[in-house]
Amino acid sequence: MTKSAEAIFMRLLRGVYTEPFAAAQDKLRECARNDVKNLVMKTKTILQNYLFVLPAVLIFSIFYIYPFYKVFTLSLCQWDGIARFDFAKNFIGLRNFIELFQDKIWWSAMLQAGYITLIALTFQNALALMLALACDRDIKGGNIYRVIFYLPPVLSEVVVGLVWKWIYDGNYGLLNYWLASIGLSNLVTDWLSNPNTALTCVTIIHCWKGFGWGFIIFLAGLQTIPRQLYEAAKVDGASSWQMFKSVTLPLMAPVFMLVSILTVLGTMQVFVLILSMTGGGPGYHTEVPVTRILASMVRSSRFGYACSQGIMFGAVLLAVSFVQIRLSKYMKQA
């Protein structure tokens, strides 16, 4: 009941309503119709809002929530992926997670992914920032350089992996041929079959292929900095290093954090490049978490154990992202 209808009704009860009773009834009916109309409009608006977000909710539920539920369910079971799945018969509790904590190969793969990530955070992002700083200036052919630097990320990882596998080949690879031709035959080796060099070789190619993403984001961030700040710094006699330290770095702090988060999440999940170059070998020296999950599913037919690895890996990524976000907030407050 609206306020106007309530006021009419109370005045009728008190006997202070001066108009005829029939007129009061008409006003009450009109107020009731307005109440119904408003309720219908409000309900229609709410339904429209829910219908608007329904496709996104359905997609998120089908492709994220339901798969996560199935993965978590399978992680508590022992299942080979072939026999009919029966939760009651296949249920083994937390046995997969207990075994995972004792799996040295898994934690070695995590450390190797961490090594690749550390190099990417330092070398790859430093290279991307230097190239972005160079292209942010008014140089001749700047647009051409931007296109060239962005080419590696858009290339197929399979193609890149196979090409570099041929370059690193110990028998007829281009790298060994070039080393021999300049008199460095003592450095010739089978780069991807040598446990001492395989991981570093894969890491270098990953950084070469991935620096373009950071380059584009850094360049976009640099172009948002007002040029007047640099001009004012020049007037005050600031050197290039002082302008970089006092103007560029503080204003680019959010961009640095964004790039670091994307680098960690992307590098920790590196998969196709390693699969096409080494397949995780020699031995387990280039294994990373995703290749271990694949090995558990395909080679060992242990779908439950693979799901427990996936949950553990996801938890590690969430923890790392949380720490990075907290550091970002702390840096902003400081």
CA-based R_g, the chain, Å: 32
Residue 23 confidence (pLDDT) above 70: no
pLDDT tens-digit series, residues 138-148: 777 778 888 88
Torsion angle, CA of 154/158/161/167, rounded to 10 degrees? -100
Q: What is the pLDDT of residue 10?
A: 55
Q: How far apart are CA 332 and CA 283, in angstroms?
A: 44
Q: How far apart are CA 111 and CA 283, in angstroms?
A: 15
Question: Considering the entire predicted model, what is its pTM?
Answer: 0.81
Residue among 205, 192, 201, 198 nearest 124 (CA): 205
Q: Which residue has the tokens 């060239």?
A: 148
CATH code assigned to 101-333: 1.10.3720.10
Task: Sketch the domain layout of the chain as residue ranges.
Answer: 3-57, 101-333
Q: Which residue has the tokens 């270098």?
A: 204
Under 8 Å between Cβ of 2 and 31: yes
Q: Which residue has the tokens 């907290």?
A: 326
Tell me how many helices (H) and strands (E) the chain has. Answer: 17, 0
pLDDT tens-digit series, residues 173-199: 899 999 999 988 888 899 999 999 999
Burial class, 304, CB count within 10 angstroms (exposed 0-12 / middle 13-18 / buried 19+): buried
Under 8 Å between Cβ of 128 and 218: yes
Under 8 Å between Cβ of 178 and 172: no
pLDDT tens-digit series, residues 221-250: 998 888 888 888 888 888 888 888 888 888
